[in-house]
A and B are shown apart, each in its own frame.
Chain A
Amino acid sequence: MNSIIPAPIAGLPWRVIIILLALVSIGTTVLYSAAGGSFEPWAGKHMIRFLIFAVMAVIMSRMPLDFWKAVTFPVYGVLILLLIAVEIMGFAGGGSQRWIDLGIISIQPSELMKPAIVLTAAWFYDRLPPTKINGIDAIWPIAALLVLPSILVIIQPDFDAALAFIFCVVVVGFLAGLPLLYFWAGGAAIAILAPIVFFFGLRPYQQDRVLIFLNPEKDPLGAGYHITQSKIAIGSGGVFGKGFGNGTQSHLDYLPEGHTDFIFATMAEEWGLVGGLVILFLYYHLMRWGLTVAVNSRSRYGQLVAAGLTCTLFFYIMINLLMVVGFAPVAGLPLPFISHGGSSMLTAMICVGIIMSIERHPGSREGQFG
Chain B
Amino acid sequence: MNSQKPVSSAQQRFTFTRRTMFVGGVQAVLGLVVSARMAYISVAENEKYTVESESNRVSLTLIPPRRGWFIDRVGKPIATNQADFRVDLIPDRVVDKEKTVATLRKLLDLTGDDVERITRELKQAKGFQPIQVADGLDYNSFAKVSVRLPELPGVSPRQGFSRFYPSGPAVGHLIGYVGVVSAEEYQEKKNPLLITPGFKVGKDGLEKVFEDKLQGTAGAKRVEVTARGKIVQELDTRQDIPGKPIQLTIDIDLHNYAARRLGLESGAVVVIDCLNGDILTMASMPSFDPNSFSGGIGRTEYKWLRENERIPLLNKALQGLYPPGSTLKPMAALAFLDLGIDPDETVFCNGGYTLGNRRFQCLGTHGSINMPNAIKASCNTYFYSMSRRVGYDAIAPVARMLGLGEEYKLPFNSQRYGTIPDSAWMKKKYKKDWSQSDTLNATIGQGYVLTNPLQLALMSARIASGRKLQPNIIAGKRPLAPLLPYSQEHFAIVHDGMDRVVNGPGGTARGSILPVEGVKMGGKTGTAQVRGLDKRGGNQWKYRDHGLFVCFAPVDNPRYAAAVVIEHGVGGARAAAPVAKDVLTFLYDREKAMAALESFESGWGGTPEERMARELATFRGTVASPAAPAATTPKPPTTVTPPANPAAPQKPPVKKPDNAA
Could you tell me if B1 and A177 are in contact, using CB atoms closer than 8 angstroms?
no
Interface of B is mostly: helix
Determine the distance from Cα of A130 to Cα of B228 in the docked complex, in whole angstroms.
61
Contact flags (1/0) for A276-316 with B, using CB distance below 8 Å? 11001001100110010011000010011001000100100
Q: Which residues of A contact B48 (CB under 8 A)?
A: 235
Contact flags (1/0) for A236-257 with B, using CB distance below 8 Å? 1111000000001100111000
A166 to B: closest C-beta gap in Å: 16
Could you tell me if B31 and A273 are in contact, using CB atoms closer than 8 angstroms?
no
Task: Confirm or deny: B427 has a beta carbon within 8 angstroms of a beta carbon on chain A.
Answer: no
Task: Confirm or deny: B46 has a beta carbon within 8 angstroms of a beta carbon on chain A.
Answer: yes
Stretch of A27-35, A91-99, A202-210, A321-329 contacting B (4+ beta carbons < 8 Å): A321-329
Interface residues of B in 7-65 (CB under 8 A from A): 7-9, 11-13, 15-17, 19-20, 23-24, 27-28, 30-31, 33-35, 37-39, 41-43, 45-46, 48-50, 52-54, 56-57
Could you tell me if B37 and A273 are in contact, using CB atoms closer than 8 angstroms?
no
Task: Confirm or deny: B632 has a beta carbon within 8 angstroms of a beta carbon on chain A.
Answer: no
Determine the distance from Cα of A327 to Cα of B57 in the docked complex, in whole angstroms.
25
Could you say which of B11, B17, B53 has the most chain A C-beta atoms within 10 Å of its C-beta? Answer: B53
Task: Confirm or deny: A174 has a beta carbon within 8 angstroms of a beta carbon on chain B.
Answer: yes
**Contact status of A235 and B56, CB under 8 A, knowing A252-B224, A253-B227:** no
Interface residues of A in 166-206 (CB under 8 A from B): 171, 174-177, 179-181
Determine the distance from Cα of A139 to Cα of B17 in the docked complex, in whole angstroms.
21
Determine the distance from Cα of A295 to Cα of B30 in the docked complex, in whole angstroms.
21
Task: Confirm or deny: B6 has a beta carbon within 8 angstroms of a beta carbon on chain A.
Answer: yes
Closest A residue by C-beta to B49:
A235
Could you tell me if A231 and B49 are in contact, using CB atoms closer than 8 angstroms?
yes
Could you tell me if B35 and A252 are in contact, using CB atoms closer than 8 angstroms?
no
Task: Confirm or deny: A3 has a beta carbon within 8 angstroms of a beta carbon on chain B.
Answer: no
Contact flags (1/0) for B357-374 with A, using CB distance below 8 Å? 000000000000000000
Could you tell me if A133 and B12 are in contact, using CB atoms closer than 8 angstroms?
yes
Determine the distance from Cα of A131 to Cα of B35 in the docked complex, in whole angstroms.
42
Task: Confirm or deny: A370 has a beta carbon within 8 angstroms of a beta carbon on chain B.
Answer: yes
B93 to A: closest C-beta gap in Å: 14
From B4, B12, B24, B224, A287 is in contact (CB under 8 Å) with B24
Task: Confirm or deny: B226 has a beta carbon within 8 angstroms of a beta carbon on chain A.
Answer: yes
Determine the distance from Cα of A273 to Cα of B40 in the docked complex, in whole angstroms.
10
From A130, A234, A303, B41 is in contact (CB under 8 Å) with A234
Could you tell me if B227 and A254 are in contact, using CB atoms closer than 8 angstroms?
yes
Could you tell me if A232 and B34 are in contact, using CB atoms closer than 8 angstroms?
no
Task: Confirm or deny: B74 has a beta carbon within 8 angstroms of a beta carbon on chain A.
Answer: no
Task: Confirm or deny: A356 has a beta carbon within 8 angstroms of a beta carbon on chain B.
Answer: no
Task: Confirm or deny: B232 has a beta carbon within 8 angstroms of a beta carbon on chain A.
Answer: yes
**Contact status of A181 and B3, CB under 8 A, knowing A231-B41, A238-B43, A295-B17:** yes
Q: Which residues of A contact B24 (CB under 8 A)?
A: 287-288, 291
Could you tell me if B56 and A130 are in contact, using CB atoms closer than 8 angstroms?
no
Determine the distance from Cα of A358 to Cα of B229 in the docked complex, in whole angstroms.
53
Could you tell me if A235 and B9 are in contact, using CB atoms closer than 8 angstroms?
no
Task: Confirm or deny: B225 has a beta carbon within 8 angstroms of a beta carbon on chain A.
Answer: yes
From B4, B20, B37, A295 is in contact (CB under 8 Å) with B20
Task: Confirm or deny: A367 has a beta carbon within 8 angstroms of a beta carbon on chain B.
Answer: yes
A336 to B: closest C-beta gap in Å: 14
Could you tell me if B9 and A367 are in contact, using CB atoms closer than 8 angstroms?
yes
Could you say which of A238, A280, A311 has the most chain B C-beta atoms within 10 Å of its C-beta? Answer: A238
Q: Which residues of A contact B57 (CB under 8 A)?
A: 248, 252, 254
Closest B residue by C-beta to A182:
B3
Task: Confirm or deny: A134 has a beta carbon within 8 angstroms of a beta carbon on chain B.
Answer: yes
Task: Confirm or deny: A56 has a beta carbon within 8 angstroms of a beta carbon on chain B.
Answer: no
Closest B residue by C-beta to A274:
B42
Task: Confirm or deny: A331 has a beta carbon within 8 angstroms of a beta carbon on chain B.
Answer: no
Task: Confirm or deny: A81 has a beta carbon within 8 angstroms of a beta carbon on chain B.
Answer: no
Interface residues of B in 583-620 (CB under 8 A from A): none
**Contact status of A177 and B49, CB under 8 A, knowing A268-B38, A272-B42, A287-B24:** no
Determine the distance from Cα of A322 to Cα of B34 in the docked complex, in whole angstroms.
7
Q: Which residues of B contact A174 (CB under 8 A)?
A: 19, 23
Closest A residue by C-beta to B232:
A252
Determine the distance from Cα of A287 to Cα of B27 in the docked complex, in whole angstroms.
8
Determine the distance from Cα of A252 to Cα of B54 in the docked complex, in whole angstroms.
11
Determine the distance from Cα of A326 to Cα of B40 in the docked complex, in whole angstroms.
12
Determine the distance from Cα of A287 to Cα of B15 in the docked complex, in whole angstroms.
19
Determine the distance from Cα of A106 to Cα of B61 in the docked complex, in whole angstroms.
47
Determine the distance from Cα of A136 to Cα of B12 in the docked complex, in whole angstroms.
17
Q: Which residues of A contact B27 (CB under 8 A)?
A: 287, 314, 318
Q: Which residues of A contact B31 (CB under 8 A)?
A: 280, 283-284, 318
Could you say which of B6, B7, B24, B226 has the most chain A C-beta atoms within 10 Å of its C-beta? Answer: B24
From B23, B52, B53, B54, A307 is in contact (CB under 8 Å) with B23
18 A–B pairs (Cβ distance < 8 Å), ordered by A: A130-B6, A130-B7, A130-B12, A133-B7, A134-B4, A174-B19, A179-B3, A234-B41, A235-B42, A235-B52, A239-B46, A268-B42, A300-B16, A314-B27, A321-B34, A327-B33, A327-B37, A369-B9
Q: Which residues of B contact A (CB under 8 A)?
A: 1, 3-4, 6-9, 11-13, 15-17, 19-20, 23-24, 27-28, 30-31, 33-35, 37-39, 41-43, 45-46, 48-50, 52-54, 56-57, 224-228, 232
Which 5 residue pairs of A and B lie closest in terms of their CB atoms, listed nearest first? A235-B49, A236-B53, A253-B227, A177-B15, A130-B7
Extra A-B contacts (6), CB below 8 Å, given A239-B46, A253-B226, A300-B13 = A235-B52, A252-B57, A273-B43, A326-B37, A327-B33, A327-B34
